[in-house]
Amino acid sequence: MTGTVLVTYGSTNGSTAQIAETVAEVLRKDGLTVEARPAQDVTSVAPYDAVVAGAGLYAGRWQKDGRRFLRRHRRALAERPLWLFSSGPLDASASERDIPPVPGVKKAMTALDARDHVTFGGCLGEGARGWVARMILRNGKGGDYRDFTTIEKWATRVADEMRHM
């Protein structure tokens, strides 16, 4: 593939944005032209030949900007290679086993013919926005469960697929 790749994300507190930036950096190192942008800032996917979209998980759903991105651009996304990722479990489960997509993401995968989905561990630290986040932190359940080695390996597989398109 010789075109441009969009890596977009819905992130409330920034940890999913860091995952997306890591994915974008791996794709760039692989020679691809990549733009990483917050989902709410994307007005069109027409300039892109492939898309990687991700969002944080909140109460079993993708973060609102990620959901809106998929809905708003569904026709154009269905015409492009698409990979999806979720970020969220605040425990080691994502490093220990494959976690299937939540129902809304599974439905989007089918409707948009996404090539792959992966769930990465999440991160919730001090200063997180939202009352639920503050409650989780108050109960001592925060922390950083992102595994950047796993994220980079997945991004490398995506880059390999893109090179062979």
Per residue in 18-53, pLDDT (tens digit) is 999 999 999 999 999 999 999 999 999 999 999 999
Q: Which pTM value belongs to this model?
A: 0.93
pLDDT digits (tens, 9 = 90+) for 131-145: 666 666 667 677 788
* Fold observed for domain 4-163: Rossmann fold (3.40.50)
> Distance between CA 5 and CA 128 in Å, rounded?
30
Return the residue matching tokens 């900007």. 65
Q: 106 and 137 in contact (C-beta within 8 Å)?
A: no
